[in-house]
C-alpha cells in the first residue's frame, strides 16, 4: 500500500470510528484547558479530571490562582505527580499571564511556549483545541502509532510531528490527533496488542 493510500485509509477509518472527538480533559475555557494539559504530563487524563475540580473550585482564573500559595496548589494537585514542578509552573505562568497578557492565554506559539511548564506539545493542544488554530500535538500515543504504521521513522517526537503534518491535510490535524489518541487507547495499545482486533494494523499488514 502506497503512503498516500495508507494515510487516506487511516483518516477515513478514524473518521468512521470517531466522528465526534470530545476533548478528554474537562475544562471551561482556555485557561482551565491550559492548566489541565500542563497537569496531564506523565499523568492520565482520568486522574487530571478527578483533581482539577478541587483546584478550579478555588481558582479558575489567573487572578484567583495567584492568591493561592505554591504550597496550596501543590497540595491540591499532588495526585497528578510532579506536583512541586507543576505547582510552581502554574503559579508563575498565572503571574505572567496577568503581567504580560492582561490575564488572557496568548494565541501564539511563541508566547505560550515561553510560559513555565508549557512545552510545544502543550502549546499545540491549546492552540488547536482552545483557539481552533491548526496544530498537530504529538504525545507518546501518537508517536507510537505513527511509528507502528510506518508514517515516520520514529526517531523523535519532533520528526513525527513534521511527518504527520506533511502526510495529512491541515484541515484534519486538530481532529485527527484526538482520533489517533482514542484509537490507540481502544484498539492499538503498546502492550497486549492483538492485530486481529486492530482494524488499521490488520489492513496495513503490521506484523506486531
User: Is 96 in contact with 115 (CB distance < 8 Å)?
Assistant: yes
Of 6, 13, 30, 139, catalytic = 139
**Residue 150 is a catalytic residue:** no
Which string of DSSP letters, residue by residue, matches 128-193? IIIT--------HHHHHHHHHTTSS--S-HHHHHHHHHHHS-GGGHHHHHHHHHHHHHHT--SSS-
Between CA 174 and CA 136, with CA 118 as vertex, the angle to 5 degrees is 20
The CA radius of gyration of the chain, in Å to the nearest whole number, is: 18
Q: Are 33 and 45 in contact (CB under 8 A)?
A: no
Specify the 3-state DSSP secondary structure of 96: helix
Task: Reply yes or no on whether 50 is catalytic.
Answer: no
Catalytic residue among 121, 150, 175, 207: 121
| Lookup: cell for 39 | 497537569
Residues with catalytic roles: 121, 139
Amino acid at each position: 500500500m502506497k503512503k498516500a493510500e495508507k494515510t487516506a485509509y487511516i483518516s477515513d477509518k478514524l473518521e468512521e470510528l470517531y466522528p465526534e472527538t470530545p476533548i478528554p480533559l474537562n475544562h471551561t475555557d482556555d485557561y482551565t484547558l491550559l492548566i489541565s494539559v500542563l497537569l496531564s504530563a506523565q499523568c492520565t487524563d482520568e486522574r487530571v479530571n478527578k483533581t482539577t475540580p478541587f483546584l478550579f473550585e478555588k481558582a479558575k482564573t489567573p487572578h484567583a490562582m495567584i492568591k493561592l500559595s505554591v504550597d496550596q496548589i501543590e497540595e491540591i494537585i499532588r495526585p497528578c505527580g510532579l506536583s512541586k514542578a507543576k505547582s510552581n509552573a502554574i503559579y508563575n505562568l498565572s503571574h505572567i499571564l496577568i503581567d504580560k497578557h492582561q490575564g488572557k492565554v496568548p494565541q501564539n506559539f511563541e508566547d505560550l511556549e515561553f510560559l513555565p511548564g508549557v512545552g510545544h506539545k502543550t502549546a499545540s493542544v491549546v492552540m488547536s483545541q482552545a483557539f481552533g488554530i491548526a496544530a498537530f500535538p504529538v504525545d507518546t500515543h501518537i508517536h507510537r502509532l505513527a511509528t507502528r504504521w510506518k508514517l515516520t521513522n520514529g526517531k523523535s517526537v519532533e520528526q513525527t510531528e513534521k511527518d504527520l503534518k506533511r502526510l495529512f491535510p491541515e484541515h484534519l490535524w486538530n481532529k485527527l490527533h484526538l482520533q489517533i489518541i482514542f484509537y490507540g487507547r481502544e484498539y492499538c495499545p503498546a502492550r497486549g496488542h492483538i492485530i486481529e482486533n486492530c482494524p488499521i494494523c490488520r489492513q496495513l499488514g503490521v506484523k506486531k
